[in-house]
Amino acid sequence: MTLVDRSRYPNLANLTTEVLKVWPEHKRYLENSLGPREEGLLSFSEKLAEMVSRLATTVHGGISTLGDDYRFLCEEIYLPEEFYFRRHGSYRLKSFEEALNTVYNNAPFMSRYMNGLLMSDVLWINHCQGLQHFAEVYLNSLPGNAQLLEIGPGHGLLLHLASQNPKISGLAAYDVSQKKVDMAGKALKALGAAKPVRFELKNILDDSIVEASNGAQFDAIVFSEVLEHLDRPEQAVRALLHLCKPGGRIWINVPANSPAPDHLYLVREPRQAEDLVRSVGFEVVDTAHFPMTGVTLERALKQQLTISCIIVGRRSAGLRQADNSSLDNSSGPSLRGTGRTAARAPRGDAPAPRT
């Protein structure tokens, strides 16, 4: 039994079937996630599922390992963090060193974590909608001949999507971890990326990033699911301003209320992250808010549930000094913002996973 039309979406059908083999109880969640997807999002989901299926060929055990690791991610990695978040109203980890010692340096754990996240890009509606916004809205808003930088490329899915867009003429990627650089390079090879990528081992929080020689190089900068991992988020966004050409555009994807064993920066509602982007001197030109599977945006804001927050910022033609606005972490829910919001999902009682 498949949850989607196999004749139209064969890779998506195959992926969900594999997940249900290792986790039959997840059926209702998947119905909640796939049911509301309209044709455009289903076609994009199929494209992502095809990419994930190709990457599965590079993993020992293939797609069934990804299915196992996806279940591990939901039940063993995220659920305990969710309990902590509900009890204390904050993320559990307080410093980057803790994340390094307990998560990043634990190679077998990291491997399962990354595999699980790869599946979530297709199976969690907010992850899929975020990637669709990147591929179909943001990339198409760029000028021709754009030089694009991604910071923290992870599996390289966004780099691959960017490489397929005719507006992008050059691609670079910085990551703080050599393992992640190697992983993204291997993934792009498996995906058959249409253009070469120049990889560099760089920490966005390193002072050398803001040296004059690094300034104003890129028309487009992608910062997806990285900000929440940092203990100095404002410094990172300032570095993006330095790297961005006047008139260039950044695309940030940061989850609000998304407890995880390596998340440090807690965004409580979309406006908080948008204010951070404005505070360093970007103009916010587009936003989109995608709540977790099975939940409306209103409910996510009220109950502090996960929302993928997309922010497109533009560096004005003349560099404006940062105004040092407050980076208040505690403001109440708000629907402010110019951008789109996700369609209502039919049910609101889906269990974990929540991000």
Ligand X SMILES: C[S@@+](CC[C@H](N)C(=O)[O-])C[C@H]1O[C@@H](n2cnc3c(N)ncnc32)[C@H](O)[C@@H]1O
- Residue whose CB is less far from ligand X, 195 or 232: 232
DSSP state of 25: G
Q: Are strands 340-341 and 282-291 parallel, antiparallel or unpaired?
A: parallel
Q: Site size for ligand X, by CB under 6 A?
A: 18
Q: Does 271 interact with ligand X (rule: CB under 6 A)? A: no
Q: List the x/- string, 146-165, binding to ligand X by CB under 6 A.
A: -----xxxx---x-------
- Residue whose CB is less far from ligand X, 243 or 300: 243
How big is the CA angle at 292 (ends 30 and 132), to the nearest 5 degrees? 85
Q: Is 314 helix (H, G, I), strand (E, B) or coil?
A: strand
Q: Which of 64, 203, 214, 235 binds ligand X (CB under 6 A)?
A: 203
Task: Decide: residue 333, CB within 10 A, 0-12 exposed, 13-18 middle, 19+ buried.
Answer: middle
- Residue whose CB is less far from ligand X, 130 or 339: 130
Among 335, 290, 338, 285, smallest CA distance to 312 is for: 285
Minimum gap (Å) between residue 205 Cβ and ligand X: 5
Q: List the x/- string, 86-125, binding to ligand X by CB under 6 A.
A: ----------------------------------------
Q: Do the beta carbons of residue 144 and residue 184 sit within 8 Å?
A: no
Binding range to ligand X, per CB under 6 A, among 3-11, 21-29, 59-67, 175-183: 175-183
Q: Does 176 interact with ligand X (rule: CB under 6 A)? A: yes
The string over 248-267, giving b where at least 16 C-beta atoms fall within 10 Å of a residue's C-beta and e elsewhere, is bbbbbbbbbbbbbbbbbbbb
Q: List the x/- string, 208-237, binding to ligand X by CB under 6 A.
A: ----------------xxx--xx-------
Minimum gap (Å) between residue 120 Cβ and ligand X: 9
Q: Which residues is 311 bridged to in the sheet?
A: 252, 287
Instruction: Return the number of other C-beta atoms located less than 10 Å from residue 94's C-beta.
Output: 11
- Residue whose CB is less far from ligand X, 20 or 59: 59
Minimum gap (Å) between residue 287 Cβ and ligand X: 17
Q: Do the beta carbons of residue 58 and residue 187 sit within 8 Å?
A: yes
Q: Edge-to-edge strand order for the sheet containing 307-315?
A: 197-201, 168-175, 146-151, 218-224, 244-256, 307-315, 282-291, 340-341
Q: Does 177 interact with ligand X (rule: CB under 6 A)? A: yes
- Residue whose CB is less far from ligand X, 147 or 203: 203
Q: What's the one-letter identity of residue 155?
A: H
Q: Which of 26, 133, 180, 271 binds ligand X (CB under 6 A)?
A: 180
Binding range to ligand X, per CB under 6 A, among 66-74, 171-179, 264-272, 284-292: 171-179
Q: How far apart are CA 232 and CA 134, in angstroms?
A: 25
- Strand spans (E) along 202-306: 218-224, 244-256, 282-291
How big is the CA angle at 281 (ends 278 and 282), to the nearest 5 degrees? 65
- Residue whose CB is less far from ligand X, 41 or 239: 239
Minimum gap (Å) between residue 155 Cβ and ligand X: 6
Instruction: Identify residues 272-331 at the interface with ligand X (CB under 6 A).
Output: none
Minimum gap (Å) between residue 202 Cβ and ligand X: 6
- Residue whose CB is less far from ligand X, 51 or 151: 151
Q: How far apart are CA 126 and CA 120, in angstroms?
A: 9
- Residue whose CB is less far from ligand X, 204 or 307: 204
Binding range to ligand X, per CB under 6 A, among 1-9, 197-205, 298-306, 320-328: 197-205
Residues of this chain that bind ligand X (CB under 6 A): 151-154, 158, 174-177, 180, 203-205, 224-226, 229-230
